[in-house]
Each structure stands twice: as C-alpha cells, then as structure tokens.
Amino acid sequence: MIGKVVRVLDGDTFDLLVDQRPVRIRVTGIDAPEKDQPFGQRSRQSLAGMVDGNPVAVRIKGTDRYGRRLGAVYAKICAPSAPCRAVYVNAEQVKTGMAWAYRFHGQAVDPAMLKLETQARSGRVGLWSAPNAVEPWKWRHQMVSAGK
C-alpha cells in the first residue's frame, strides 16, 4: 500500500491517504509511549519527521482489534545536505529510543526489534536516557487502574 501520510497521531499510529481515503496504520512490531506519557510527544515528533507529508510504502501484515491496519512502514528521507535514503520506520523508532519492541505475553514478537531496543537501552538513547522509563502497556494499565 502506497500513500501520503496526512496525520500522525502518536509514535506508532498515523493516517495514510490512499485513493483519496484515509487508512489508519499501526506501525507493527513496536509500542511507542502514549501521548501523555514521558517521551510520548517526542516519539510522535520522531515518527512525524520521517513520514508526515511524505509518500510512504506500507506492507500490511493484518488488522488489529481497533480496525487499524498493521504494517511495516518504509519512507524515503531526503535531507538538504545528504542524499535521500530509504528508512524502515518501525526499526528506526526503536533504534532511536522512541519505542519499545512490541511484546505479546511478555515476549518480544520480533527478535530484530528486541536487539535494536537492547542497543538503544545500552546507549541510553531517547527514552532510555530517562532513569525510570515505563513501558506503554504498563502505563495504560496504570491509567485504567487510576480511572483516567
């Protein structure tokens, strides 16, 4: 699926315009901080910097329970002082410390993403620069428990 990103909601979700219709995309294999969570806005800005307003290619891997299309996202990044380069957005978010490797029942679903997360943790990159980074799934649980 190829389209233009028209809205970035958070660090792992955006709307892709395909045939003049928005399609909600959930970046698969990662879990970014929630919007109101520490690093949530930075994670959203990181994703937006790679995809917002740019044509991207998404390899659809399924649909989640909220109706979002799950996808591997590829973008072409062009900087004024450097040649254009293709970026695997999912990995870039984890590598730069803007997301965790997605876990299912406590286990990372993609070993490559877990390796990138481990490297980002070791280098104290992005959210790993904070001493007490809280995983998004724990943050969501805390918010539900607190009635928010």
Say which of 7, 21, 24, 26 is annotated catalytic. 26
| Active site (annotated) includes residue 92 | no
Say which of 7, 21, 24, 34 is annotated catalytic. 34
Report whether 51 contacts 8 (CB < 8 A): yes
| Active site (annotated) includes residue 34 | yes
CA–CA dist 143, 148 (Å, integer): 5
Say which of 44, 68, 92, 117 is annotated catalytic. 68
| Active site (annotated) includes residue 121 | no
Q: Over the chain, what HEC string results?
A: CEEEEEEEEECCEEEEEECCEEEEEEECCEECCCCCCCCHHHHHHHHHHHHECCEEEEEEEEECCCCCEEEEEEEEECCCCCCCEEEEHHHHHHHCCCCEECEECCEECCHHHHHHHHHHHHCCCHHHHCCCCCCHHHHHHHHHHCCC
* Residue numbers annotated as active site: 26, 34, 68
